[in-house]
Every structure is written in C-alpha cells, then in structure tokens.
C-alpha cells in the first residue's frame, strides 16, 4: 500500500490532527453500527485522558461512551464478554504500561478463545492504548511494549503512524471478527495534516512505503515514522536515497513489503522505540536474515530504545529513545558512508 499526496483541488479536504482523526473514526463507527460502543477510564465526562473521545458522550450518550472504574482487567474482560455477546466494543486503556493489568484477559481469553473452543467463539473486540515516550512521563507511562502483544497468536496488532491510518484503521478493526489491539503513540496526537472529507478505506493487512528510494530501506512504525522520514530527508541531503517502510501492522507482519524493499535497496535499518532485545526490530531483522540474507550488502542495523526504564529528565529520555541522528548514523553505516 502506498500513500500518495492527493491533489487538494480534486476533492474536499480539511486540516485536522491525529487526535481528531481518531475521534472522527469513533464517531463514524458509532453512527454506522449501533453495536459499537467505547469504554475505558475517563472516556466520557473527562473526554478521554488524551481527549480522543471528547464530545462523544454528549453525542452518543453514556451507555455507548462508558466511563469505567480503574479496573483494567475487569473492563477489558467485559469487552471480551460483550464481544462474545454480540456487541462491537472498543476498549480504551490509558497506556500500554497499564494494559499489563489486563494482560490475562487479552492473552488468556481474547487471543485464545477462538482456537481453544475449536472455532465456536470469536471475540470481535478492539483495544486501543497509548504507547511510547518523549513526553517526560517517566518509567511507568512511556514504554513501547508493542512486542508483548505482537508475540501473541490470535491478535492483530496495529500501529497507525499517519492521520489517514488514525482515521481509517478503526472501522476495519471493528469489522474484524477477532481481537485487534491498536497502539497510538503519544507523540502523534497533536500532529496536524490534511485529510479528505470523505476518506478512502485503508486496510489492516499491509505495510506501506511512505517514501521511495533505492539506497537503503528504513523500517519504522507508529511514533518512529516521523523521525524516520526526517532522517530520510537528512540522508537525501547527503545524496543517500532512503526508502521508508511503515510497518502499520505488527502482527501478522507484512514481511513481503519489507523483503521486496530490501530486495531493491540491499540494506536495512529497523527502527523501534521498544527495547532492542526480543523486540519488533529483532523480529523484522530475523525475517530479513531468514529470507533475504543474500540480498544484503551490509548487516541489518537496528535502532531501538536503550534497555533501561525510561527516565524523566528530557536529556536522559532523549538519549534513551531512537532519534533522527541515530537513524541517520545507522543508515550511513549501512551504505558505507563514513565521510
């Protein structure tokens, strides 16, 4: 899937934000299907801890935009039960760190019931949560634990990086008969952009080439995509033409798009805010090594979060997270640009 800039004269567009795009997706889904409802901590009267659901309770009522107690396991499990009972719940969990309190429900029930029941049950549940650092929220609100969920068979794991995906991924996720986990990087909510008034559907299957180039493939997802695109511009100024692949879907991984790109560029840099060991970048690197080793002209580079609990002060947090300069340096190593 390739995202192209649209001719603004061709169709009506508007300037919006990632947050508003998510909100619009919820509004659209709840208008289209009366089985859809949202529940989570402070989603109704507070408007959502990141203001994604602001105004939705007023529009749809507090039955369908439902404040819950601080009981991640109970309300996530209740989402599973409501899905089994024929509804299409969206469960919002404030951060991925908090989602660990619901991991029993997500792993042992949501991801498991269909297979373990021999196909009798399915759990059409969407779980949304914030991920990632960069906002000085310290070590219990900032981690990128996408790999925990991407490890689990039975889940689809999404990482929308663009406004188009923030707007478009929710509906196909709700249409999916099985559980879908959506990671929203906290640094993206305020990102502005232009979307058509009548957006095109997007899929929740494929990775996307966000920038074409022939010298090196930069792979990112979610909050790292803007950094990776910025790195590509820096590299372009040095005469290095980088291709940028946005994974979009962390499970099942669309390795074909990655391998196709690496097959052309022969070099790969994989960027992920998660810790390096046993993470998303490790998985992508392994797939490249398994299936495209002889396409490579240089070792695969990984740019990942430093393996520490994320600290509060900005200089330390910055040092712990992948930055544009880190991606540039890794790409230069990959192409042998040591000038």
Distance CA 93, CA 145 (A): 13
Among the listed residues 24, 72, 273, 317, the single catalytic one is 72
> What is the residue whose two structure tokens read 């991640």?
72
11: its two tokens: 């169709």
- The footprint of another protein on residues 170-229 (CB under 8 A) is 176-178
- The footprint of another protein on residues 280-309 (CB under 8 A) is 290-291, 293-294
Q: Which range of residues in 17-25, 40-48, 102-110, 270-278 is near another protein by CB under 8 A?
A: 102-110
What is the 3-class SS of 220-287, one letter each residue?
Answer: ECCCHHHHHHHHHHHHHHCCCCEEEEECCEEECCCHHHHHHHHHHHCCEEEEEEEECCCCHHHHHHHH
Query: Which residue, 56 or 82, has its beta carbon nearer to another protein?
Result: 82
Distance CA 236, CA 261 (A): 17
Figure out which of the listed residues 86, 198, 237, 315 binds another protein, where binding follows CB under 8 A: 86
The pairing of strands 13-17 and 208-211 is: unpaired
Distance CA 195, CA 189 (A): 15
Query: Which residue, 68 or 142, has its beta carbon nearer to another protein?
Result: 68
The pairing of strands 156-158 and 249-251 is: antiparallel
Figure out which of the listed residues 81, 193, 196, 311 binds another protein, where binding follows CB under 8 A: 81
Q: Which range of residues in 13-21, 45-53, 67-75, 160-168 is near another protein by CB under 8 A?
A: 67-75
For the chain, first and last CA: distance in Å? 35
Query: Which residue, 91 or 228, has its beta carbon nearer to another protein?
Result: 91
- Has 58 been annotated as catalytic? no
> What is the residue whose two structure tokens read 């990087």?
185
- Has 141 been annotated as catalytic? yes
Give the three-state DSSP class for 50: coil
Query: Which residue, 69 or 239, has its beta carbon nearer to another protein?
Result: 69
| Smallest distance from another protein to CB 206, Å | 12
Question: If binding is defined by CB under 8 A, does position 119 make contact with another protein?
Answer: yes
Figure out which of the listed residues 109, 144, 257, 261 binds another protein, where binding follows CB under 8 A: 109
Helices (H), 71-222: 72-84, 96-99, 103, 113-116, 146-150, 163-168, 170-175
Contact pattern from residue 125 through residue 154 relative to another protein, giving x for each residue in contact according to CB under 8 A and a dash for the rest: ----------------------------xx
| Smallest distance from another protein to CB 64, Å | 8
Binding residues for another protein, rule: CB under 8 A, are 37, 63, 68-69, 71, 73-87, 89, 104-105, 108-109, 113-122, 153-154, 156, 176-178, 251-253, 290-291, 293-294
Active-site residue list: 72, 141
């Amino acid at each position: 899937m390739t995202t192209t800039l649209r001719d603004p004269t061709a169709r009506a567009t508007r300037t919006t934000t990632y947050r508003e795009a998510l909100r619009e997706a919820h509004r659209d889904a709840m208008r289209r299907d009366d089985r859809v409802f949202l529940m989570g901590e402070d989603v109704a009267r507070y408007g959502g801890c990141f203001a994604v659901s602001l105004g939705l309770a007023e529009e749809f009522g507090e039955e369908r935009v439902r404040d819950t107690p601080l009981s991640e396991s109970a309300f996530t499990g209740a989402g599973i039960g409501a899905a089994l009972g024929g509804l299409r719940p969206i469960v919002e969990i404030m951060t991925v760190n908090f989602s660990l309190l619901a991991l029993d429900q997500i792993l042992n029930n949501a991801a498991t019931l269909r297979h373990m029941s021999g196909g009798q049950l399915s759990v059409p549940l969407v779980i949304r949560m914030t991920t990632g650092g960069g906002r000085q929220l310290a070590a219990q609100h900032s981690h990128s634990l996408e790999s925990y969920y991407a490890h689990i068979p039975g889940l689809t794991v999404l990482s929308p990086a663009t406004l188009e995906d923030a707007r478009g991924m929710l509906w196909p996720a709700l249409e999916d008969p099985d559980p879908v986990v959506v990671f929203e990087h906290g640094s993206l909510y305020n990102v502005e952009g232009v979307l058509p008034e009548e957006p095109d559907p997007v899929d929740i299957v494929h990775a996307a080439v966000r920038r074409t180039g022939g010298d090196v493939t930069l792979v990112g997802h979610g909050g790292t995509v803007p950094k990776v695109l910025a790195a590509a511009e820096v590299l372009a100024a040095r005469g290095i033409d980088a291709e940028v692949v946005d994974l979009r879907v962390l499970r099942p991984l669309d390795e074909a798009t990655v391998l196709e790109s690496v097959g052309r560029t022969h070099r790969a840099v994989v960027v992920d805010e998660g810790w390096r060991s046993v993470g998303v970048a490790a998985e992508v690197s392994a797939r490249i090594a398994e299936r495209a080793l002889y396409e490579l002209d240089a070792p695969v580079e990984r740019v990942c979060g430093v393996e520490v609990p994320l600290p509060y002060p900005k200089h330390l947090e910055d040092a712990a997270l992948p930055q544009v300069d880190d991606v540039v340096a890794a790409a230069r190593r990959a192409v042998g640009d040591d000038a």
